[in-house]
Amino acid sequence: MGKYLHVFLIGIQNTLVYRVNFLFRAAAGLIPLSGTLYLWKAVYAGKTDGADVAGYALSQMISYYLIVTLVDAFTAVAEDDWQIAADIKDGHISQFLVRPISYLAYRFSLYLSGRAIYTVVALIPVGLFLFFLREHLSLPASPFTFFAFTLSVVLAGLLQFIIACMMALLAFWVLDVSTFIFIQFAFEYIASGHLFPLDILPRWLEQIILLTPYPYLLYFPVAVWLGRVEGDDLTRGLLIQGAWVVVGYLLLQWIWGRGIRRYSAVGG
């Protein structure tokens, strides 16, 4: 465990170099967000007598996007998938195979350090943005809701890391993984609820999407925060989320095992 803590600390130091980059990225990401919020405001302005959209009042809709931004800052992979793919392609993983350290655990430590720095840096622009829109921001109804939200963000982070790893491990089989990562990301972008809350979709489509792991990356934690998932639904949701993490982890280990057998350390 100590060695991974060490990796984490080194990761913190290395990532600090990118702090300006992170700041810029977090701030730039607010531009499309502001556009989306203006679009929704115009939608609600066009509605008569304060009607809502699929049970979302304007404030809740805005809160939804704000919490998505927050969860995304906590969990999104930054460069991890590209770096893993590059490590495989350039043969850098060889050194891990001969040492008593697990490459994936090593990457996970780096992911954690990257997220820690990113969250702290992103807190400046995102915090200002949230403050600016504070009248629309709804807070968790109770400490318990907040606890459940935190738990589901942790699970979402694990799931996010596992999915990113799986895509990166494609590098064992194909030369250029970037297109696959982007295609996967397009699906993730819509099915995780990044673009809009999933329950404004037609019911059948929402049900199909809920069968995939994607909603548990963003939509579910955000729904927990907003109090749209409660009681038994909340317990069941967390269990499903946990189950996806376990399934994902096992699948990742299996893919890693297969990949390693194929790996021939080109140029390593």
Q: Which residues bind another protein (CB under 8 A)?
A: 20-21, 24-25, 28-29, 31-32, 34-36, 38-43, 45-47, 53-54, 176, 179-180, 182-183, 186, 189-190, 195-196, 200-202
Closer CB to another protein, residue 131 or residue 179?
179
Choice between 28 and 120, CB closer to another protein: 28
Shortest spacing between CB 190 and another protein, in angstroms = 6
Rounded distance, CA 115 to CA 215, Å?
A: 20
Ranges assigned E (strand) in 74-190 = none
* Shortest distance, position 35 Cβ to another protein, whole Å: 4
CB of 246 to another protein, least distance (A): 29
Helix residue ranges per DSSP H, the chain: 2-16, 19-45, 58-75, 80-90, 94-97, 103-132, 143-169, 178-191, 203-210, 219-225, 231-262
Pick between residue 51 and residue 211 the one whose CB is nearest to another protein.
Answer: 51
Min dist CB 170 to another protein, Å, is 12
User: For residues 1 and 42, which CB has a smaller minimum distance to another protein in the complex?
Assistant: 42
- Amino acid (one-letter) located at 101: I
How far from each other are the two terminal CA atoms of the chain, in whole angstroms? 27
